[in-house]
Amino acid sequence: MNSILVIAESDHGIRIASAIAFGILYFDYTLTYSAEVERFWKGRFSFASFIFYFNRYLALFGHIPVLYEFYGTHSQEVCSRVQMYHQLLAGITQVIVAGLQLFRIHALYHGNRRITSALSCLCLVCCAISAWAVSQAWHQPSGDKTMAGIPGVGCDLTMTEAQGKYLSFVWASVLAWDTTVFALTVYRVLGSGSRWRGSLMGVLLRDGAFYFAVLLVCHMCNILTCLLAQAVTRGISVTITNVIASSLITRLMLNLRDPRLLRNQSSGVTELSDLPWRANTGPHGSSAKSTGTSSHETSEGGSSGL
């Protein structure tokens, strides 16, 4: 039975953690808005730019109802609906991020079908495990729901021990996926035999390493809190993990269209000159050639596939 005190303590902790997450999300948007305009708005619309916008603005506007969930007081019916929406938003966010990572690896390995197929299968397995775990968690008893929606307390944001165990499978699956993507990135970059410092390959390695290190900490926090923490703090880092994942993948895509990187690549064809996901093509859809401006377009193509 969840007491009012436990619910209030859980709400307080999650509200603080979520305030940090939302601060990161919206402040990072203000920091990167001008880069977005220069590197995406002024370019040709492509599938990659669509995914970029979808990830970017789903995070920005999709979390508004989550703010309503965390900082308002509602009836149990409203709490249940908003909490289900929040879980769906978290799942969609992770799927989008995984899709963008898959595009990066697809481009990095020049469309290698075996790598892409194997990684796609792994993605499907991770999604299936996560869907099963979430469905099992939804069917677990959630404590005394009569406590939810009490003025000054808000929705019951606590998580039972059984729910925590099932949700740990979700974050273990995400961690396995991120580890695989990072390993493939390192293997491709270091095994390319080319000079990668200051190049597109270097950016891929640098950003990939930073992304993996930050998300490794977040995923381990989620797994450990789901399995070992008390009800008050169980799952406290979930929202901040989703926000950080979305923000970091946005920065990864922005960095690949950095004009400084394009200038560094202007002396020759980039390492990823045959990328299948190009942002800029000719008027008849033909890919750019290795001319004075091809380096720019090839790098843009790399970002579209990555």
**pLDDT tier, 196 (very low <50, low <70, confident <90, very high otherwise):** low
**pLDDT tier, 305 (very low <50, low <70, confident <90, very high otherwise):** very low
Which stretches does DSSP call E strand in 69-217?
none
Q: Bridge partners of 150?
A: 154
Nearest CA among 1, 29, 2 for reference residue 156: 2
Residue type, 232: V
- Looking at the structure of the chain, the number of domains it has is 1
- Write out pLDDT tens, residues 262-290: 665 544 434 443 333 334 433 334 333 33
Dihedral in degrees, nearest 10, Cα atoms 248, 249, 250, 252: 90
- Write out pLDDT tens, residues 65-84: 998 888 877 777 888 888 88
Better-predicted residue by pLDDT, 63 or 264: 63
- Write out pLDDT tens, residues 91-119: 999 999 998 889 888 888 888 999 999 99
- Give the DSSP H/E element, type plus range, for residue 166: helix 161-190
Q: What is the per-residue pLDDT for 8?
A: 72
SS percent in the chain: helix, strand, coil, step 5: 70, 0, 30
Say which CATH number the domain at 126 has.
1.20.1070
- Write out pLDDT tens, residues 166-195: 999 999 999 999 999 999 988 887 776 555
DSSP 286: P
Q: What values do phi and psi take at 150, rounded to 5?
A: -75, 130
Helix axes 294-305 and 76-108, enclosed angle (nearest 10): 140
Structural domain boundaries, residue 124 = 4-305
**pLDDT tier, 243 (very low <50, low <70, confident <90, very high otherwise):** very high
pLDDT at 149 over 60: no
pTM here?
Answer: 0.77
Q: What percent of the chain has pLDDT over 70?
A: 75
- Write out pLDDT tens, residues 31-46: 999 999 998 998 888 8
Q: What is the per-residue pLDDT for 288?
A: 38
**pLDDT tier, 152 (very low <50, low <70, confident <90, very high otherwise):** low
